Amino acid sequence: MNIDFTPVIDRLPYLISGAWLSLQIAFLAFAMGMVIGLCGASVRAYGPRWAHALVSGYVVFFTNTPQLIQIFFLFFALPDAGILLTPLQAVLIGMTLNAGAYLTEIQRAGFESVRKPELEAAETLGFSRFQTIRLVILPHIVRVLFPPLSNQYILMTLGTSMAAVFGVEELTGRTYNINSETFRSIEVFSVAAVLYIAITLAATLSLAFVGKRFFRAKMRWF
């Protein structure tokens, strides 16, 4: 067997650009999912029964069906209703909705972990519900839940690989393209694996630094 990484190394900038797109997709989906998760956790903690039921149904659906099927629905089924999405839009929306469901559950655990005296103190000071969430609960959630939130982000970064199924040229998509041109499968996918390890390690180190420096979160570097 003749192993030759030259054709892959020559296209390394192309792969790195795909890795950067993977990080962008993961970051945008995670950020928007955090907003959905915070709203969902707030409703499940303090909302009326009907809203609680709606959020619970959303969480059950998106955490008990494959994310790939959810994106397939957005990309292939919505056009029948006159809604056309580009592959990137479908992937981003699908990942956001999926992340929002999981982040709702993660942040709900954060709501429940807030100590009762802190909530009573906020009530005594005359805080509104929004002020209590923003000034008391949210800082607590960020500090306590930073490690699991970071893990969720890393999983989402790796999960962007499914975008290749829809023709999005992120890292995996570009790996497929190079493999179809060079037929150097061992070399191409080995380099892609190394790039995935590099970006996840970089994200892990960055998140650990941010969590320890700004939120006093107890983070493990590895």
Q: Check which CATH number belongs to the domain holding 98 and give it.
A: 1.10.3720.10
- The verdict on residue 1 lying in a domain is no
Domain that holds residue 105: 6-214
Q: In the structure, what pLDDT confidence band is assigned to residue 215 with cuts at 50, 70 and 90?
A: low
Query: What token pair was written down for 51?
Result: 């809203």
- The verdict on residue 119 lying in a domain is yes
- The verdict on residue 86 lying in a domain is yes
pLDDT attached to residue 151: 87
Query: Does pLDDT of 219 surpass 60?
Result: no
pTM, two decimals, is 0.85
Burial annotation 23-47 (CB, 10 A radius, 16+ → b, else e): bebbeebbebbbebbbebbbbbbeb
Range 193-202 average pLDDT:
92
Chain-centroid distance, C-alpha 222:
20
- The verdict on residue 145 lying in a domain is yes
Q: With contact defined as beta carbons under 8 Å apart, do 100 and 37 qualify?
A: yes
What's the number of domains the chain is made of? 1
- The verdict on residue 220 lying in a domain is no
**Cα–Cα distance between 178 and 10 in angstroms, integer?**
11
- The verdict on residue 219 lying in a domain is no
Burial class (CB in 10 A: 0-12, 13-18, 19+), 7: middle
Range 15-40 average pLDDT:
94
